[in-house]
Chain A
Amino acid sequence: MATNDEPKIPMASSLQQVVGALIFGANRAITIDEIRKCLADAAEMDTEQNETIKLFAEASPREIKDVVIGISKELTRIGIGVILEEIAGSFRFQTEPCCGRWLRILLKADRPNRLSHPALETLAIIAYRQPISKSEIMAIRGVTVDHLIKTLMELHLIRIVGRSELPGRPFLYGTTPTFLEHFGLRNLQELNEIDPTLQRSRKAERVAVHTRTKEKEEESVFDNTPNLFTPSETDPQPPTPTTDIEDQKVEEEQ
Chain B
Amino acid sequence: MSIDDILTEDYKVNLEVFEGPLDLLLYLIRREEVDIYDIPIVHITRQYMDYLDMMRLLDLNIAGEFLVMASTLMMIKSRMLLPVEERSSEEEMDQEWVDPRLDLVRQLIEYKKFKDAAQNLQMREIMVNEAFLFGGDAPHFEKGEVNGSQALGDIGLFDLLTAFKDVLERAPSEPFGHIEPIVWSVPDKMTYIQELTEANDHVRFSLLFHPESHRNEIIVTFLALLELLRLHQVVLHQNAAFHEILIFKAEDDSTGADPVNF
User: Which A residues form the contact surface with B (CB < 8 A)?
Assistant: 24, 27, 85, 92-101, 103-104, 107, 109-121, 123-125, 127-128, 140-144, 147-148, 151, 155, 178, 181-185, 191, 194-195, 197-198, 224-229
Determine if B107 and A225 form an interchain contact, defined as CB atoms under 8 angstroms apart: yes
The 7 closest A-B pairs by CB, nearest first: A143-B20, A100-B130, A114-B259, A97-B130, A142-B22, A112-B140, A116-B261
CB distance from B205 to the nearest CB of A (A): 20
Contacts known (A115-B122, A228-B107); A198 close to B127, Cβ less than 8 A: no
Q: Which residues of B contact A104 (CB under 8 A)?
A: 255
Contact of A111 among B111, B119, B135, B256 (CB under 8 A): B256
Chain B interface size band reads 35 or more
Question: Bound complex: CA of A178 vs CA of B255, how far in Å?
Answer: 25
Nearest A residue (CB) for B144: A113
Partner of B134, one of A93, A147, A194: A93
Which residues of chain B in 165-191 are interfacial with respect to chain A, using CB atoms and an 8 Å cutoff? none
Task: Evaluate contact between A97 and B127: CB separation under 8 angstroms.
Answer: yes
Residues of B within 8 A of A140 (CB): 107, 110-111, 114
Inter-subunit contact A123/B131 (CB<8 Å) = no
State A94–B141 Cα separation when bound (angstroms).
Answer: 17
From the candidates B113, B128, B135, B156, name the one contacting A117 in the complex (CB within 8 A): B156
Q: Which of B48-56, B146-154, B209-217, B235-243 contacts the other chain?
A: B146-154
The total of interchain contacts (Cβ-Cβ below 8 angstroms) comes to 196
* Distance (whole angstroms) from the CB of A84 to the closest CB of chain B: 12
Which residues of B are in contact with A by a Cβ distance under 8 Å? Answer: 16, 18-23, 63, 65, 68-69, 72, 103-104, 106-107, 109-111, 113-122, 124-136, 138-150, 156, 253-257, 259-262
A94: chain B residues at CB < 8 Å are 131-133
Q: A96 to chain B: which residues have CB within 8 Å? A: 131
